[in-house]
Amino acid sequence: MNEKYIKAKEFGFKNLEPYSKAVDIEGRFPIEGYKSMQNEGYFSLLVPKEYGGQGENLLAHAEICLGLSESCPSAALAYMMHNTATRAMALYGQEDIKKEILKKVVAKEVTLGLAYSERGTGAHFYIPDATSKDDGDHVILNGVKSMVTGAGFVDYFLTLVKAEEDDSLHVYAVPTNIDGVDFEEGVWDGVGLRGNESKPMIMKNARVSKDLELKNIGDEDKEIFLIGLASVSAGLAQRAADEVAAYVQKREYTHAKNLADIESVQVNLGSMYAKAFSARETILAAARLADLSPLGAFPELFSARIVSTEAALDNAVDGMRAFGGKGYVRHDLVMERIMRDSFAGQIMAPGTDVLKIWLGRMLVGLNYIDIFK
């Protein structure tokens, strides 16, 4: 029962947790945890079996992201980005290049990420200002992607651009080691999820082979992305409840009983646990449904991201209250990191405002994406 979730949680507490405090304080990529996930084989989860991968489904992705998020949400976020890009490559990549890249993923030689967001279009990350220009069997890419998780550590970023010739949209797997691709240093100092190294990616006349274009892109990779984002929040909600449960038992007064004996504290904790549990189970249910009915579970996937984001935010507020003054000492107890990470999780697009609009529009039979055009 949810075996992969339990295993990923144990793996995370053993391999990611020891670094998560330093990652947060230093605002650096969780490279130790990222490498240990790669060594464990987690990065080949969604690579099809024909390329040597595990060929796993959405439920497996959900369980693992949930488990990893409880110890190091920054590492889990980078992992879910890789899984999303891997799924997109497997579905829409051109055969030769797909084979080459996915086999390298399985051989633990490369990882993937996403470079979609831009300053100009913000939350509407599917409308790029970055451009491509035809150059025979190559394209020339120009533009800046604003917050790219794993900048400097990921080998290929799936990058959305607009063709100069006809404004059509294209996604290329851009290698990060080519001329014309750079990451802006010294600008990332996030409040939460500080381990993401979400730096701007600058493309200045970057020449990329047309073989690296993903073709006939559909929505299957979006299922993976929504589950991953939701899981990071649900993991944070669970960790907050667990931390409060442990802390209130230790907080003893000289004049009276400890915090855990106070009824309103118990009520608060019960509420936190219930929210974390319902967030996790909503994600697992949505993933199961999406496995059974590909592209048929977007209302449930949107709901899962909404419910889990709100659970993380609620538990961040309730958790900080339970920790009292001690919780406000910076970098001392983990609750304040959970609070900051929960607030960062909510602004990652598509956020809850956008998702509620999309969900409402879907429920009344309107095209949800039209609202932005």
Ligand X SMILES: Cc1cc2nc3c(=O)[nH]c(=O)nc-3n(C[C@H](O)[C@H](O)[C@H](O)COP(=O)(O)OP(=O)(O)OC[C@H]3O[C@@H](n4cnc5c(N)ncnc54)[C@H](O)[C@@H]3O)c2cc1C
Shortest separation between residue 256's beta carbon and ligand X, angstroms: 41
Would you say 70 or 323 has its CB closer to ligand X? Answer: 70
Window of 44-52, 117-125, 257-265, 273-281 that interacts with ligand X by CB under 6 A: 117-125
Q: How far is 66 from 280, CA to CA, in rounded Å?
A: 7
| Contacts of range 54-61, beta carbons closer than 8 Å, 24 or more positions apart | 57/287, 57/291, 58/223, 58/224, 58/227, 58/287, 58/288, 58/290, 58/291, 59/284, 59/287, 59/288, 59/291, 60/4, 61/224, 61/227, 61/228, 61/287
Would you say 265 or 354 has its CB closer to ligand X? Answer: 354
Window of 16-24, 114-122, 177-185, 218-226 that interacts with ligand X by CB under 6 A: 114-122
Shortest separation between residue 272's beta carbon and ligand X, angstroms: 23
Peptide bond into 299 cis (omega under 30): no
Q: Is 191 in the site for ligand X (CB under 6 A)?
A: no
User: Angle 73-92/31-40 helices, nearest 10 degrees?
Assistant: 50
Would you say 123 or 262 has its CB closer to ligand X? Answer: 123
160: Cβ contacts below 8 Å, ≥ 6 apart: 115, 116, 125, 126, 128, 130, 169, 170, 171
Q: How far is 158 from 167, CA to CA, in rounded Å?
A: 18
Nearest to 225 by CA among 368, 117, 104, 343: 117
Cβ atoms 144, 202 nearer than 8 A? yes
Would you say 59 or 115 has its CB closer to ligand X? Answer: 115
Shortest separation between residue 60's beta carbon and ligand X, angstroms: 22
Nearest to 171 by CA among 53, 55, 58, 91: 91
User: What residues form DSSP beta bridges with 132?
Assistant: 141, 163
Give residues 120-149 in contact with ligand X (rule: CB under 6 A): 122-123, 125, 147-149
Binding mask 22-61 for ligand X (x = CB under 6 A): ----------------------------------------
Cβ atoms 51, 99 nearer than 8 A? yes
| Token pair in block for residue 336 | 């304040």
Among 129, 354, 361, 362, binds ligand X (CB under 6 A): 354
Shortest separation between residue 146's beta carbon and ligand X, angstroms: 6
Among 91, 265, 357, 362, binds ligand X (CB under 6 A): 357
Residues in the interface with ligand X (CB under 6 A) total 25
Binding mask 196-215 for ligand X (x = CB under 6 A): x-x-----------------
Q: How far is 76 from 74, CA to CA, in rounded Å?
A: 5
Give residues 291-350 in contact with ligand X (rule: CB under 6 A): 344, 347-349
Shortest separation between residue 263's beta carbon and ligand X, angstroms: 36
Positions in the binding site for ligand X (CB under 6 A)? 81, 113-117, 122-123, 125, 147-149, 190, 193, 196, 198, 344, 347-349, 351, 353-354, 357, 372
